[in-house]
Amino acid sequence: MSTNSINPKYVFITGGVVSSLGKGIIASSLGLLLKGRGYKVTIQKLDPYLNVDPGTMSPYQHGEVFVTEDGAETDLDLGHYERFTGSNLFKINNVTAGQIYLSVINKERKGEYLGGTVQMVPHVSNQIKTKIFEAAYTTESEIVIVEVGGTVGDIESLIFLESIRQIRKDVGWNNVAYLHVTLIPNLKATNELKTKPTQHSVEILRGRGINPDILVCRAEKPVSKQIREKLSLFSDVALDSVIECRDVKSIYEVPLNLEEQGLTKRLLTRLQLEERPLNIDSWKLVVEKIKNPTQKVKIAIVGKYTKLNDAYISVIESLRHASATQEAEIEVKWVLSEDIEEYNRKNLSLEEAFEDVKGILVPGGFGDRGVEGKIRAIQYARENKIPFFGLCLGMQCAVIEFARNVAGLSGANSTEFANDTPHPVIDFLPGQSDNTDKGGTMRLGSYPCELEDNTISLKAYKTKTINERHRHRYEFNNLFGNKLKEAGLIVAGRSPDGKLVEIIEMPKEKHPFFIATQFHPEYKSRPDKVHPLFLAFIKSCLKG
């Protein structure tokens, strides 16, 4: 453990009964409420899967991959952490079992355990604790919120639970609080909330040596005092520490509801910290706008993973942020790019697919499945002058579409999809051609970009130099730059050395809004600090 002079407090958040209870939103909400009181906070996610990171997983397995400033491919919950707290997180903020076991095995191979038998306790548990302490001291945080993925009944999570149990012994009782999130299901047949699943969940947790200090109870209707008293009795948690967390229309309401329930006050008391005045006025204003829209705007998202909304959660939230500033409610029309390909095969019009939409957004992705559908959707947006926004693969598809149908480069493509294309307008990332690994071999993290004068992008950003996060292997091929420029495509942003194209757009006189970025602007949008390109896109959609 570091000898740093700060003495951080630790809040461990576990979950029971079922997964996807919203531990990430509760951790994020708590981060906002503590930061709004002037405390320096960081949030860490412990994921029990054996992948080193989620970068090689299908979004259908684990939702979107969120990329941090330093290029870590992380769990989508880190996106929530950043959006709620307004802070940039880093690689240390997401720890997986795969990372832990890999570290331990590498140390064993190097002989660092002095010939001893390597065991789950203390070697693996110590490595987990090291990562938790590292998050505290590298970020110099006063409070570290640690979310343990999965549920307390999962076999994969056992060593994480053991590690957070030990930390109370390591740092002292007053420096650790355990918050357990659980479900109070409502039985439709009798219309009553049932506490038994929560009782069993707490019993399992206590069997692991952890007595929860606070219960946060997810429920679809009010949790009565009688139910809270019952839970207090059977879980040995103080009555005023049994906190209701009811379903709400917007996740951004959750912090306000938890504050009203007294969660932060109970936690600060438990950790013997000062109760400071709360200032989250800008957050409250956003929530009011989200709850009281005066108009709607329908946006089509054309993607490969549209059957799972979490695959594009940062995109959706960024659209919500931008819409809220215009007092509009976003309505997403999910369009599977493979369905667009089916329209093409049958020579059907795309009017039905894009009926009533005010804008078309094509997000990122990998592989050739559904790509021709994305390209066709972009062509429809361009030809029908529907506001279009492309992200990462969406930009690459826009370049391919423009090359084929405007610049006259028949058969233009990306070498990711067609090695034998006569016009490789998108090509492999320079310097990566000999690297066959799939994990962590892309351009990842934050890179600078210089914007060109007299562009829509510069007007949106209002600054010449920007920094945005990337996650891709393939790039705009500069060999075709002049040909595409002659046909009317504008390169609106490049890397400072001029070698990498970051933003393309069409002039305002030819299209109301046609912008695509090689980077992922959705990673940096916040409810109270909307990303300028999403805002410009939504404003253009509302004009239509």
Domain end position, chosen among 251, 284, 317 = 284
Residue 435 above 60 pLDDT?
Answer: no
Average pLDDT over residues 513-528: 97
For 139-178, the pLDDT digits (tens) are 999 999 999 999 999 999 999 999 999 999 999 999 999 9
Residue 220 placed within a domain:
yes
Q: For 98-109, how does the pLDDT look when each residue is reduced to its tens digit (9 = 90+)? A: 999 999 999 999
Fill in the DSSP letter of residue 415: T
Distance, C-alpha 114 to centroid of its chain: 41
Taking the C-alpha atoms of residue 463 and residue 243, their distance in angstroms, rounded to an integer, is 45
Strand 192-193 to strand 242-246: parallel, antiparallel, or no bridges (unpaired)?
A: unpaired
* Other residues' Cβ atoms within 10 Å of the Cβ of residue 325: 16
d(CA 322, CA 319): 5
Supply the pLDDT for residue 343.
82
Are residues 306 and 273 both part of a single domain? no
Q: Which pLDDT value is given to residue 367?
A: 84
Q: Which residues are catalytic?
A: 392, 520, 522
Residues 248 and 343 in one domain: no
Q: What is the torsional sign of CA 366, 369, 374, 375? A: positive
User: Which candidate, 79, 45, 70, places its Cα nearest to that of 470?
Assistant: 70
Helix (H) or strand (E) holding 267: helix 263-270
User: How large a percentage of the chain has pLDDT more than 70?
Assistant: 97
* Gap between the Cα atoms of 6 and 137, Å rounded: 8
Max mean pLDDT among 5-9, 442-446, 493-497 falls in 493-497
Residue 439's pLDDT band (cuts 50, 70, 90): low
Amino acid symbol at 521: P
Whether pLDDT at 386 is above 80: yes
Residues 233 and 314 in one domain: no
pLDDT category at 243 given cuts 50, 70, 90 is very high
In whole angstroms, give the CA distance from residue 215 to residue 236: 10
The set of residues, in sequence order, having a beta carbon less than 8 Å from that of 470 and lying 6+ positions away, is 67, 392, 442, 443, 444, 445, 446, 447, 518, 519, 520
At 200-218, the pLDDT tens digits run 999 999 999 999 999 999 9
CA–CA separation, 208 and 225 (whole Å)? 28
Q: What whole-number distance in Å separates Cα of residue 65 and Cα of residue 285?
A: 29
Output the 3-class SS for 154-171: CHHHHHHHHHHHHHHHHH
Q: Is the peptide bond before 122 cis (omega within 30 degrees of 0)?
A: yes
Any idea how long the chain is? 544
For residue 3, being part of any structural domain is answered with no
What are the angstrom distances between the C-alpha of 218 and each of 243, 247, 290, 307, 308? 9, 7, 22, 25, 22
Q: Give domain status of residue 389, yes or no.
A: yes
Q: What tokens appear for 454 in the block?
A: 């007299």
Q: For position 223, what pLDDT does the model report?
A: 93
Maximum Cα interatomic distance, the chain, rounded to a whole number of Å: 75
Is the pLDDT at 349 greater than 90, yes or no?
Answer: no
pLDDT at position 3 is 42
Domain-located, residue 170: yes
Report yes or no on 433 lying in a domain: no
Instruction: Categorize the per-residue pLDDT at 125 as very low, low, confident or very high, splitting at 50, 70 and 90.
Output: very high
> Tens of pLDDT along 10-35?
999 999 888 788 999 999 999 999 99
More confident position, 60 or 50: 50
Residue 327 and residue 268 share a domain: no
Please report whether residue 338 resides in a domain: yes
Indicate if the pLDDT at residue 48 is higher than 50. yes
Residue 394 in contact with residue 422, Cβ under 8 Å?
A: no
Nearest CA among 21, 48, 284 for reference residue 163: 48
Confidence of residue 429 (pLDDT cuts 50, 70, 90): low
Identify the helix (H) or strand (E) that includes residue 148: strand 143-148
Please say which residue of 261, 284, 307 terminates a domain.
284
Q: CA-to-CA distance for 27 and 18, rounded, in angstroms?
A: 17
Whether 406 and 514 share a structural domain: yes
Torsions phi, psi of 486, nearest 5? Answer: -60, -30
The answer to whether 33 and 259 have CB atoms below 8 angstroms apart is yes
Q: Which two tokens stand for residue 525?
A: 């949008």
Q: Are residue 13 and residue 130 in the same domain, yes or no? A: yes
Residue type, 378: I
From the number of C-beta atoms within 10 Å of its C-beta (0-12, 13-18, 19+), residue 27 rates as buried
> Residue 143's domain spans which residues?
9-284
97 plus 201 within the same structural domain: yes
Are residue 52 and residue 201 in the same domain, yes or no?
yes
* CATH (domain of 334): 3.40.50.880
Judge whether 14 and 161 are in contact, CB under 8 Å. Answer: yes
CB 520 within 8 Å of CB 470: yes
Kindly state whether residues 38 and 104 are assigned to the same domain: yes
pLDDT exceeds 80 at position 77: yes
Assign residue 254 the CATH number of its domain. 3.40.50.300
Strand-pair partners of 43: 145
Quote the DSSP letter at residue 149: P
- Tell me the average pLDDT of the chain: 94
**What are the pLDDT digits (tens) for 300-327?**
999 999 888 899 999 999 999 999 999 9
Count the alpha carbons within 13 Å of 228 in the hemisphere toward its beta carbon: 19
The answer to the question of residue 2 being in a domain is no
DSSP state for residue 124 in the 8-state scheme? I
Provide the domain count of the chain. 2
User: What was the pLDDT predicted at 345?
Assistant: 79
Q: What is the CA radius of gyration of the chain?
A: 25
Are 351 and 240 part of one and the same domain? no
Peptide bond into 363 cis (omega under 30): no
Per residue in 249-271, pLDDT (tens digit) is 999 999 999 999 999 999 999 99
The DSSP-derived string for 219-235 is ESS---HHHHHHHHHHH
The tokens of 345 are what?
């095969």
Clarify whether residues 250 and 358 are in a common domain: no
| Helix segments in 3-141, DSSP class H | 23-35, 59-62, 77-85, 97-109, 125-138
Q: Are 26 and 246 in contact (CB under 8 A)?
A: no
Tell me if 313 is assigned to some domain.
yes
Pick the last residue of a domain from 255, 284, 313: 284
Q: Output the pTM of the full model.
A: 0.94
pLDDT at 1: 40
Q: Give the orientation angle of helix 97-109 with respect to helix 125-138, to 10 degrees.
A: 110
- pLDDT, greater one: 531 or 366: 531
C-alpha–C-alpha distance, residues 476 and 398, integer Å: 11
Question: What pLDDT was estimated at residue 2?
Answer: 41
Query: What pLDDT does 115 receive?
Result: 82
Place of tokens 């906190």: 243
**Cα–Cα distances in Å, from 94 out to 68, 345, 444?**
10, 44, 16
Whether residue 229 sits in one domain with residue 150:
yes
